[in-house]
Amino acid sequence: MAQRTIGLRGYLGELIVQQWLKKKYPESDGYKIIKEIIPQEYPKKGGGYLDFGIIIEKEVLRIYEVKTQDYIFDGGINGALKYIWENKKRKLLFIDNQNNLSDSSKDFEAFLILLVPPNEKGIKEIKVENLKNVLLFSDLKIEQFIDIEKIKKDTNADLESEIKLIENPKQGTLIKKEFLKCRGQSKDCI
């Protein structure tokens, strides 16, 4: 049960941060919020995409990575975020999940948003020099902008979409007959 609640908390945390970003960086002011973005030269194996990128005038202004666990463990920080922090002085090229490319702006910064302050291990993992780029949910003052009904609506839409995928998966359907043959079955037995 604990793993399930961590996943749900992470999902809700991203929805809340997305609402905060929409208030902080309004589309009417020329900002674009991108979900899933990564430095182009960082290996994408195993995911690694960062949660949100803020684009203005075709440049990445900010990156936000959301972690809602109540602790940070060894290896618990997204590798792409660490890469950005290690290369602060370099101009980076970013790619999003639609393969669009954007340069980092001269005012570029990357932030980690945490549910609670990091413990000793978390600080060691983040490194003291990067703590200024760590925000807490309490810093966001979410109670001033959170729209619970919007979160419920988004959650229901995502839930319906995922249930449809579970009921009718697209991946693997082409190899189902081969799979059943390898198992020694000629048809579904359930």
Which two three-digit tokens encode residue 176?
């189902």
Q: Checking DSSP bridges between strand 134-136 and strand 93-96, what pairing results, if any?
A: unpaired
Residue-wise pLDDT tens digits, 92-145: 999 998 999 999 999 999 999 998 888 888 888 899 999 999 999 889 888 888
How far apart are alpha carbons 25 and 56 in whole angstroms? 9
Note the pLDDT of residue 81: 93
Note the pLDDT of residue 184: 74
> What does pTM read for this prediction?
0.83
Please list the ranges in the chain whose pLDDT falls under 50: none
Note the pLDDT of residue 173: 59
